[in-house]
Amino acid sequence: MSILTDLHLVSPHVQSEPESVAVDGAPPKTVFEVEDIHRLLPHRYPFSLVDRIVDFIPEKLAVGIKNVTFNEPHFQGHFPGRPIMPGVLIVEAMAQVGGIVLTQMADVQNGLFMFAGIDKVRFRRPVVPGDQLIMTVELLWVKKRRFGKMHGRAEVDGQLAAEGELMFSLVD
């Protein structure tokens, strides 16, 4: 098994309460700002790939935003004259959104969440500078609070950019 990246469990709950925002009379949505995300995940520049969580349902799903900008380091070489966000970074961004779900689960041991596998990943459209990547990651199942699977979906302007299944395992 190759390890592609990790999701770190810093604490079982956000240390400051995330903001709840009501929109058009709908029930309030939980919003995590970048400072909240950095308290929960170990990723930092240039590998912090989630700018905001705009919706969160505990132990179920999270919806995150990644604002894609031309000044990100991977665009220097991927590809000169035609910048396209690498697919592996889209998958990593979805995993980081999933990491928010994982770090907020009750009764989860401290440790390091790592990729255990990636299945059924498909890329449907390129993601380029100026795009806003909207990622919805839903928890499918968890076994013994140590292994699990999520389904991730990334969209730009309502068009599917990528989707797939992400497996994780908790490493002591």
pLDDT for the residue 5: 42
User: Is residue 37 a part of any domain in this protein?
Assistant: yes
* Alpha carbon distance 100, 96 (integer Å): 7
Digits of tens for pLDDT over the chain (172 positions)?
333 344 443 334 444 556 665 556 666 678 999 999 999 999 999 999 999 999 999 999 999 999 999 999 999 999 999 999 999 999 999 999 999 998 888 777 677 788 999 999 999 999 999 999 999 999 999 998 788 999 999 999 999 999 999 999 988 7
pTM of the predicted model, to two decimals?
A: 0.85
Active centre residues (catalytic): 78
CATH of the domain at 62: 3.10.129.10
Q: What pLDDT, on the 0 to 100 scale, is given for residue 20?
A: 66
Residue 49, in any domain of the structure = yes
Is 33 part of any domain? yes
Nearest to 65 by CA among 4, 155, 133: 133
Q: What is the pLDDT of residue 157?
A: 98
pLDDT of the residue at 27: 64
Backbone φ and ψ of 106, nearest 5°:
-70, 150
Write the DSSP string, 99-158. Answer: HHHHHT-TTPPSEEEEEEEEEEEEE-S---TT-EEEEEEEEEEEETTTEEEEEEEEEETT
Q: Which domain holds residue 109?
A: 6-83+91-171
pLDDT of residue 156: 98
Q: Is residue 59 part of a domain?
A: yes
Classify residue 120 as left (phi > 0), alpha (psi -120 to 50) or beta: left
Q: How many domains does the chain have?
A: 1
Please give the pLDDT value at position 63. 98
111 found inside a domain: yes
In order of 70, 89, 117, the CA distances from 172 in angstroms are: 37, 25, 18
Paired strand residues for 163: 122, 153
Both tokens of residue 33? 């700002």
For residue 1, being part of any structural domain is answered with: no
- Rounded Cα–Cα distance for residues 152 and 144 (Å): 22
Q: What is the pLDDT at residue 171?
A: 85
Tokens standing for 19?
A: 């903001």
